[in-house]
Structure 1
């Protein structure tokens, strides 16, 4: 199967538009999971099923006044897509966070079934 990037791009645009929680469910399979490898914000990393992902996105949206996903490159192979991007988030305090990210997506039937992410944050 060839990976279509539509769901990935749509997810990033939805997040930039401030959507969170159940508004994001449409981009994922019911059994979707995410694995976030250890980073400055989550030193132990985390694995979350879809319900926890949606809850975490709502909590994150409460902290941010805006966020932007600048995609630098993508690579597709079978049902896997790798996206290299820079994420910029502006906190409601006005402080800015920047992370250089590699995301590995698995897609099934046009929806995201898993995301494995490596987030390298610039110093706060």
Structure 2
């Protein structure tokens, strides 16, 4: 029988694969509780950070597809305790548009710290600490 920690780690990895595959709408919403809160702490792209609910997360996924044509998430480390999962992720996104010194078609890279709180097998809270390589 799978432990809560094992189930949550498996769900966290599957969620990242779904995002990597371009999930939007219901295909993305299924990973979250209806009252999910996602916090993105200040970084180069979001200097003041952001706090989003489900609607904003789904809208952002749609907008993101116009900026990034492909993306990869490599989980470098992961740990779970009860209903909490912490991930260290190497992200690479292939740009659809120029950004900073990068041209469309270039790869943008970042290291993410992603902290997920689960409720009933779905993500109820997500906190991102995103560190982008210079661009």
TM-score, shorter chain, exceeding 0.5:
yes
Alpha carbons 1:20, 1:61 under 8 Å: kept? no
Using the size of structure 2 for normalisation, the TM-score is 0.87
Give 1:66-105 correspondences, 5 Å limit: 66-92=70-96, 93-105=104-116
Shift in Å at residue 2 of structure 1?
A: 2.6
Alpha carbons 2:36, 2:54 under 8 Å: kept? yes
Which structure's CA Rg is the greater one? 2
Between structures 1 and 2, the one with greater strand share: 1
Alpha carbons 2:9, 2:79 under 8 Å: kept? no
RMSD: 1.3
Q: Deviations over 1:2-39 (max 9, x none)?
A: 33223211211111112223320010011111000000
Give the number of equivalent residue pairs: 124
Using the size of structure 1 for normalisation, the TM-score is 0.94
Distance in 1 between residues matched to 2:26 and 2:58, nearest whole Å: 6
